[in-house]
Amino acid sequence: MTPMVKRELHDLGDGLFAWVQGDGSWGWSNSGLITDGDQSLLVDTLFTGALTQDMLDAYRRATPAAQRIGTLVNTHANGDHTFGNHLVGDTRIIASQACADEMEERPAPVFQAMMAGWRDMGETGRFLQETMGSIFDFSDIGHRPPTETFSGRRTLQVGDRRIELTEFGPAHTRGDIVVHVPDARVVFTGDLLFSGSHPLMWSGPIGNWIAACEAIESWDVDVVVPGHGPVSTKREVAEMREYLVAVRDGATARHAAGLPWDEAAFDLGRSMSDDWLDRDRIIANVATVYRELTNGVVDPSREDIFRHMLRYREGAVCPHEPDAACACAQRA
């Protein structure tokens, strides 16, 4: 199955490329290719084997250096950036140690079993099926973990070109890194930038993500390739930072006012980035901030988060079942 989504190669110039999939909604991630002479480095694979193969074929048509990928860097552990790793053969794979640890918790066979048994997983299963299972064919995914790991920073060479890997996680996930190509003034951010859509914060703390945005804004870069969405600039990074600050401050104020996390999420969501995709992610983001604010005392389960995300997607104005005594609607 090949979903009918526009998938296209962007030539960034000077031997760099990006593969961009659709609008970047659930599962539609991007990848990048960095070359110098006959050397190459691939940034992330995709959600399925078929999608990854299409991407690799496009890179190979674009440049001879992609005939054999010398190095693969995984920016984080999510399957839409790693489930095609097995298609790069015996290439070395580099990631943060935290990314490698997280990949082992939900490898491709476990994910396949989850998606096959989604009906037995309650609201979590219904959400996964609605956003991904009904769209992607996971029969060809594989588990190939990193062969080399690091923490903090690492510098690589691709031909004569210096590549800088910087770890900013935990933020979106536990082990987020970005791939910076200083001489080309390009950075591949993984999911530390969702361009044109609400981000999704499972790990936090949110301050790490804000600091990542601030660091990228301080770099001498012209092109920013996000994990999801169109090729961007530092303007979109600034917009992401402003969003995250608004989530942090809005959730903190609602917590101080005594609102439960779910009411705070719906209330804050009514004022957040109406023109961005996937607005239901505000639910998970506020849940993560509340967990941080309360040192884990408030720690919503994935089932609760997905249940409220489904209600939000369906247009509910508050987390409660219809209730004449509910005051949320009056606050809307």
Q: Could you tell me the pLDDT band of residue 273, with boundaries at 50, 70 and 90?
A: low
Whether residue 305 is contained in a domain is answered as no
Residue 329 pLDDT exceeds 70 = no
Count how many domains the chain has. 1
Each residue of 214-257: pLDDT tens digit?
A: 999 999 999 999 999 999 999 999 999 999 999 999 999 999 99
Whether residue 128 is contained in a domain is answered as yes
Whether residue 301 is contained in a domain is answered as no
Whether residue 108 is contained in a domain is answered as yes
pLDDT value of position 1: 47
**Helix 234-256 and helix 261-269, axial crossing angle in degrees, nearest 10:** 140
Each residue of 167-202: pLDDT tens digit?
A: 999 999 999 999 999 999 999 999 999 999 999 999
Residue 326 pLDDT exceeds 90 = no
- Assign residue 24 the CATH number of its domain: 3.60.15.10
Structure tokens at 266: 């719906």
Whether residue 287 is contained in a domain is answered as no
Q: Could you tell me the pLDDT band of residue 318, with boundaries at 50, 70 and 90?
A: confident
Query: pTM score, two decimals?
Result: 0.95
If you average pLDDT over every residue of the chain, what do you get?
94
Domain residues for 126? 7-246
Whether residue 241 is contained in a domain is answered as yes
Each residue of 116-127: pLDDT tens digit?
A: 999 999 999 999
Whether residue 288 is contained in a domain is answered as no
Q: Could you tell me which of 181, 158, 163, 127 has the C-alpha nearest to residue 302? A: 127
